[in-house]
Each structure stands twice: as structure tokens, then as C-alpha cells.
Structure 1
Amino acid sequence: MEKHKRDCTTEPRFEQGRFQLIAGFGARFTEDTAQDIPLLWEKFLPWLGKVPGQKDEVTYGVCCNPDGKGGFEYIAGVEISRLDDLPEQYRWIEIQPGHYAVFEHKGPLKQLPDTFQYIWNEWLPHSGHEAADLPEFERYSEDFNPRTGQGTLEIWIPLKPS
């Protein structure tokens, strides 16, 4: 696992996250069905740039609404400025301000699950921090190319105040 850390992620930086409205396409997943998340992205990408109130080209993958049995909702989306004209086909979530550990994923997207395993099973238990019960999210910068998987990808993990 130590080799994985060097290859796929950096040590985190800590940031105070801001309020954000994220809207896009969403679905429920489990550990067994999480490999289908890229299909959700394929459905959403043609809508990129067409979401009412979209602020920029940065995309987000938000994990939220866990059911306590390993299930969660995942929203592939963008930041928006308003909800008032958002069509019903979109799911949306508010990201509240909070303290986050921010990891940069390096490497192909197919290794993203390994990076999450490192964060949750190696880094967090030994970090002295505790995860907050808030949405975690992936932030794909404007330079990220979803077709090639190249560009900047960050994982934002919410932390309880220390």
C-alpha cells in the first residue's frame, strides 16, 4: 500500500471548503455496483455546459446520502449558481462549508478506487483526524479530460473539527 501512496496520491493539504450547489445526474450505488459510476458520467458529459446556472467547466463527483449498509448516492455534476430554473431531470446537493483533507489523485482513473482505499484504510486511521458525516467529493479541474483521464483530480474528504 505504501507503493500505491507514492504512485497515486500526495499527502493531503487542508482547506476550508466553501458553500457550493452541485447539480447533475445521480444514482444509488453500493460497493458491488460502484464500478458502474463511469456509465453515469457518460450519460452526464453531453450535458456539460448546458446545465442551467452552470458556473464553469469544473466537474464534481459527489458521494452522499449513505444508507448505513454500504449504499450511497453519487452525483456527477457541476457547480451551479441557482436552483430556480433547474429541470427535474437533475439531482442536486448543497455542499456546506467545512474543513477538508484534499488529496490529489495521480495516475489513471482506473486506479481511483485504490486511492480511496488508501485514504480510508491507511491515511485516515493514522492521521489523528476523523471524517465528518458530510458529502465527500471528487473535483475534476477544467484541465481534466474525461476521455483520456488526464488532468487534475482532487478528492475532498470532510473532517470533524479538531
Structure 2
Amino acid sequence: MEPKITTIERKLIIGKKLEMSLTKQLTPMLWKSFLPIISQIQNRNSNELISFSVYPTDYFQSFDPNTKFEKWAGVEVTNVADLLPETESFEIVSGMYAEFIYKGLPSEAGPFYHSIFMEWLPNSGYQLDNRPHFEVMGDKYKNDDPNSEEMVYIPIIVR
């Protein structure tokens, strides 16, 4: 599992967020509330969907699956004017990311993420940076399909 190391330019996102934990996953509910309004969002710059997580600063140092974090369902836009009342904006700042391809069902992604954080990262010469982790679901993404594909971005800095 060798990722592509890339620098991501800032991304302006319009979406919805929920606070959750790994033990109290609300991601399906979040997307179910967001998908019906996507077509009303102005200034979209692609048809891709973006899922991202904003973790507390010490989330990975003292990992506990009950610790809460913000999960977002969103789309990238060129500007954040004309927000719908039920949406918010967020800026993912520019920075270095490890880009992985995940193929499969979301419910089976546990071993994939485990190998990133427990195998690849400790041996990589990089460490996690305190920026959002995100996934881009483009043309190859098929919800609940074992052949689905999405891009996974983990924020890193050189050790």
C-alpha cells in the first residue's frame, strides 16, 4: 500500500456536519439529509462528493473509539456565497496529504484504515498533521457496491 504524496490546494466546501464517534456512527444519516439538497448548491466546481472529518487535536495520540469528532458531507465550490439555510461552509487549507485509493464497501474499510495508521504511517517518514481527513467520491464511487472506489486523503507532515 503505497500512497501518492501530494499537496492539496485549499478547498471551499459547502455541506452539513454532525458530531459523532466511531462507536456512534451517524454518517448514513448525515448523507441522507444532505443528498436531497445538493442540486440547490450554487457554484459547485465538480460532481464529486466530499466526506471529511475534523478530529480533536489529541484524537490519535490517545485513541478512544468513543471520542467525538465532526463529520461532514459536502461538495466543493468556487465561493461560499448563497448558502442554503441548512448548510454551512468550511475551508480545508492547503497542505501535504497521503492519497490512497479505497476499493470496496464502506462497512469493510476498517482493515484498510488500520493498515494506514498502524503499518504505513509509522514506517513512512511522515506523521499526521492536525488537518481534516477527507474522501473524494467521484465517478468510480458506487454507494454500497463492493466495486466502489474513492480517494482517501490523510494529512501529513515530514517527521
> Which structure features the higher share of helix residues?
1
- Structure 1 residue ranges (4+ consecutive) displaced by more than 4 angstroms after TM superposition: none
Match of 2:14 in 1: 23
Deviation of 1:68 after TM superposition, in Å, equals 4.2
Q: Which residue of 1 aligns with 2:80?
A: 83
C-alpha separation between the residues in 2 aligned to 1:144 and 1:46?
18
- Asked whether the equivalents of residues 23 and 75 of structure 1 are also in contact (C-alpha less than 8 Å), the reply is no
Q: Which residue number corresponds to residue 47 of structure 1? A: 37
Aligned 1:147-162 pairs, distance under 5 A: 148=145, 150-161=147-158
SS in 1 for 2:119: helix
Gaps of 5+ in 2: 60-66
The number of aligned residues is: 152
1:110 is the counterpart of 2:100? no
Amino acid of the residue matched to residue 57 of structure 1?
N
Cα distance change, pair 96–149 in 1 and its aligned pair in 2 (3 A): farther
Quote how far apart the aligned CAs of 1:11 are.
Answer: 2.0
Question: Which blocks of at least 5 consecutive residues in structure 1 are unaligned?
Answer: 1-9
Once residues 91 and 115 of structure 1 are traced to their aligned partners in structure 2, the CA distance between those partners, rounded to angstroms, is 30
Q: 8 Å contact 2:105–2:144 — kept in the other structure?
A: no
1:48 match: secondary structure = helix
Q: Does 2:138 correspond to 1:138?
A: no
In structure 2, how many angstroms separate the alpha carbons of the residues matched to 1:51 and 1:104?
27
1:33 lines up with 2:24 in the alignment: yes
What's the offset of the Cα at 1:13? 0.8
Contact 2:103 2:146 in 1 (8 A): no
- Structure 2 counterpart of 1:71, which letter? K
Q: Tell me the distance in 2 between the aligned counterparts of 1:147 and 1:41.
A: 13
1:119 is paired with a residue whose SS is helix
- CA shift at 1:15, angstroms? 0.8
Give the TM-score, by structure 2 length.
Answer: 0.85
Distance 1:43 1:150, change over 3 A: farther
Aligned to 1:97: 94
